[in-house]
Amino acid sequence: MLILVAVPVPSLDLLTYRVPDELAPPQIGARVVVPLGSRVVTGIVVERAVPADSDGEIKPVRQVLDAEAFVPPDVVTLARWTAEYYASGVGDTIPALLPPMARGGRADAHKRTRVVAITAAGIDALSVAAGLRAGPTEGAEPRLRETQRDALALIAGTPAGVATAALSSRGITSDMIGRLARLGLISVRQDRVDRDPFATSATGSAMSAPGSDPDLTPVRPGSDPDRTLTAEQTAAVDRLLALAGAGEFRVALLHGVTGSGKTEIYLRVAAATLAGGRRALMLVPEIALTPVTAALFRQGFGERIAIQHSGLSDGERHDQWQRIRRGEIDVVVGTRSAVFAPLERVGLIVVDEEHDGSYKQEESPRYNGRDVAIVRAQRAGALVVLGSATPSMESYHRAMTGKYERIVLERRVLDRPLAAVTVVDMREEYAAEGPDVILSRALREGLQQRLAPKEQALVLLNRRGFATAVFCRQCAGTIDCPNCSVSLVVHGEGAARRARCHYCNYTSRVPPACPLCAGPYLEQAGFGTERVEAEVKKLVPGARVARLDRDAIRRKGSLAGLLSRFRDGGIDVLVGTQMIAKGHDFPRVTLVGVVSADVGLGLADFRASERTFQLLTQVAGRAGRGEQLGEAIVQTIYPAHYSIQLACRQDYAAFYERELQFRQTMRYPPLVSLINIVVRSRTFAGAMDDADSLGQAVQRVAGRNDLRVLGPAPAPLGRLRGEYRAQLLIKGTNRRRIREALQAAMAKRPELQRRIIVDVDPMSVM
């Protein structure tokens, strides 16, 4: 029998192998060990009983690892669709299907922990050694060293046995355990012990502190069915239950202002789904949102909850995945990769903060977790709930044209008012206080006033580092990355200063003199979150100030620990990037400050205004979620820009209409389909020539179809990791025809396969 196998090799499509007669024919979704060139790899069976497509020799399968499907066939089919839609090889999707420890071939790799128990002979030996008894067998007893007696005593005091990891922490080595076992003094057995991410430092404290916001109030099925909901929540739950009860594929956009109680609605609908014998998948955009969300579902539905995200250790992620696969789980909570979880009988998929760019993967396959979730629900006949206070233009457009059900929550729970927003024109601040001012007078006063009564504040700047550039006053040169066409960003102060590239991670010390002209007049320009943190500490010396960005949370568990400390009141001011703006509930936060609200407006990206509106609306929504009124202070040099003005009013409908006019004029999504293509080369001319050749080939294949190729042009980031980059944009009204034209053109230039980036439905064209 011939089978098609997907192997975890980037850009590689399905491969045909022969199953020898002595091996049992594998099922779709089973893992097989196959030869690939000079290597042997583990792949997944995607199709069985396929016809031979060539007269050449077809290599045999070396080993069939699973008697049944290891990955559910519907998830395998979903991965195959993902590869096709996003114009990547099926091999690119394999890492998303398997937990890290199962990719090498073992289903239970690193799952078993040795546990030891003392035997009767061991008890005798220990008693004799301790001088507690003597007898005719005394001479036959082995002599025990002090460390061996200590080990036996420790084990004897634990009837259920002791894990070897615990013994190791007490200095009892595996060699000693082996010797005691060979002497017959202890017995050794292997138990499966699933690592519990709910109990680890990565999630621990946050998992037990769900907060008090009505948006995050857990529901226990059957414990309090009469919990009071707002009229809008009640109507939303009733409508979603009706859609879920139909047992058919439907998509609903739950458009609710921040603090309107969307999470409570998710829990209610999930409870009904589980009561009907089906399961639920809950997607969140960031790892930071997983602990609290999982804790709420765990409170409501018990321990049949699993989490899936890259922040878990390999062992934790492996064990959670296996629990899902064994059918021990009713609800999976995770980030975008959880859309491929081996969960069967899916009846509900929730995509919270559906607009968020984190759902889009930045490497191949460049899939959007939200859109893959919709396809998965379509094939399972399930309900999809897309939740957001600031929906993506695509989702809102589909709702307005009747493709999605639109459910609206216009009021906060308990009728709490939205935060009052003040816009500060930083041009006036610069005129009054000089060009180096970072915190405006209004924000400085707001921080001092709010912290006096022990309230909390968030300060947002969506840019890391201390200074964004170093330039020379003598020659006007800058310190740039040798691999990328960007300036190095300064991190740290004083002797700890380092210049780092945020794209390739190149790092060097900040030189004492200009490397171009040797002039000693180096100056720092711009600022990031590190500088803002320093300014806040200087402004309010007694305040407990912390920073949340990628540089501050490199250590495992630091993210959850930092958020937990802030939630529990251990931090007064939290300075951070967009990570602090999404979905968090901090009832004590009464002030939100936004530094450089327009930092993203100058980007050469058609979504710049949309992202600015979403970020400002979301972060302003973090203020005033408790009993105290909230305030947001937004600093900008473009106070009249419509994205900033409408975000301050939280007027999504007006923003959508204004932005749609721009998209119609420029022919951008959601009105057309778009594919962004970047061609890489060692030379600028090579990148431009290859991109031009590819673009012409696409146009020739497409003929006169409704398709337009823009470019080639130098990419906004013209050089990255030592390679030059040229960009093409392909627009059209028929996404399938665009993709097929591109794939046909690429087939004629196979040598470009390793040097081309194809991004279907891009979230950014940078």
Residue 483 lies in a domain: no
Instruction: For residues 639 and 617, give the distance between their C-alpha atoms in angstroms, rounded to a whole number.
Output: 15
Q: Give the Cβ contact number of residue 749 at 10 Å.
A: 15
- Asked whether residue 263 falls in the same domain as residue 164, the answer is no
Domain boundary among 640, 661, 682: 661
Question: Nearest to residue 343, comparing CAs of 326, 356, 318?
Answer: 326
- Asked whether residue 118 falls in the same domain as residue 85, the answer is no
Question: Nearest to residue 436, comparing CAs of 540, 520, 527?
Answer: 527
- Asked whether residue 707 falls in the same domain as residue 568, the answer is no
Residue 479 lies in a domain: no
Instruction: For residues 727 and 717, give the distance between their C-alpha atoms in angstroms, rounded to a whole number.
Output: 10
Domain CATH code at residue 711: 3.30.70.1320
Q: What is the mean pLDDT of residues 386-396?
A: 96
Residue 48 lies in a domain: yes
- Asked whether residue 605 falls in the same domain as residue 732, the answer is no
Question: What residues contact residue 91 under an 8 Å CB cut-off, 6+ apart?
Answer: 6, 7, 8, 9, 10, 11, 12, 13
Mind giving me the DSSP string for 685-740? HHHHHHHHHHHHHHHHHHTTSSEEEEEEEEEEEEEETTEEEEEEEEEES-HHHHHH
Task: Give the range of the structural domain holding residue 386, as residue numbers without chain letter.
Answer: 199-414
Domain CATH code at residue 603: 3.40.50.300
Cβ pair 99, 317 in contact under 8 A: yes
Report helix angle 652-666 to 608-620, nearest 10.
170
Residue 756 lies in a domain: yes
pLDDT tens track for 511-535: 888 888 888 888 888 888 999 999 9
Q: In what order do the strands lie in the sheet with 507-509?
A: 489-491, 498-500, 507-509
Q: What is the mean pLDDT of residues 292-307?
A: 86
Cβ pair 263, 256 in contact under 8 A: no
pLDDT tens track for 226-236: 568 889 999 99
Q: What is the pLDDT of residue 224?
A: 45
Q: What is the pLDDT of residue 423?
A: 94
Give the pLDDT band of residue 8 (cuts 50, 70, 90).
confident
Pick the range with the lowest mean pLDDT from 65-79, 551-565, 662-676, 685-699. 551-565
Instruction: For residues 730 and 711, give the distance between their C-alpha atoms in angstroms, rounded to a whole number.
Output: 9
SS3 678: strand
Instruction: For residues 93 and 662, give the distance between their C-alpha atoms in angstroms, rounded to a whole number.
Output: 35
- Asked whether residue 130 falls in the same domain as residue 51, the answer is no
Euclidean distance between the first and the last CA atom of the chain, given in angstroms as a whole number: 47
| pTM, 2 dp | 0.85
- Asked whether residue 340 falls in the same domain as residue 445, the answer is no
- Asked whether residue 179 falls in the same domain as residue 212, the answer is no
Cβ pair 438, 527 in contact under 8 A: yes
Question: Nearest to residue 382, comparing CAs of 294, 274, 485, 483?
Answer: 274
Does the pLDDT of residue 409 top 90, yes or no? yes
Structure tokens at 531: 């500088």
Q: What is the mean pLDDT of residues 472-477?
A: 86
Q: What is the pLDDT of residue 214?
A: 40
pLDDT tens track for 238-258: 999 999 988 899 999 999 988
Identity of residue 313: S
- Asked whether residue 220 falls in the same domain as residue 253, the answer is yes
- Asked whether residue 142 falls in the same domain as residue 287, the answer is no
Number of H helices, E strands in the chain: 22, 30
Cis before 712? omega within 30: yes
Residue 13 lies in a domain: yes
Structure tokens at 278: 């089906």
Counting the structural domains of the chain, the total is 5
Q: What is the pLDDT of residue 759?
A: 94
- Asked whether residue 224 falls in the same domain as residue 117, the answer is no
Q: What is the pLDDT of residue 472?
A: 87
For 140, 169, 306, 314, 549, the CA distances from 321, given in Å and listed in that order, are 50, 28, 8, 10, 28
- Asked whether residue 646 falls in the same domain as residue 716, the answer is no
Residue 151 lies in a domain: yes
Question: Nearest to residue 758, comparing CAs of 5, 9, 10?
Answer: 10
Q: Give the Cβ contact number of residue 279 at 10 Å.
A: 24
Question: Nearest to residue 423, comparing CAs of 265, 633, 218, 258?
Answer: 633
User: In what helix (H) or strand (E) does residue 659 lie, and over which residues does it extend?
Assistant: helix 652-666
Instruction: For residues 551 and 532, give the distance between their C-alpha atoms in angstroms, rounded to a whole number.
Output: 14
Instruction: For residues 416 and 629, give the distance between their C-alpha atoms in angstroms, rounded to a whole number.
Output: 8
Structure tokens at 518: 């040797």
- Asked whether residue 429 falls in the same domain as residue 539, the answer is yes
Domain boundary among 142, 161, 192: 192
Query: Within its chain, how far is the Cα of 604 from the centroid?
Result: 25
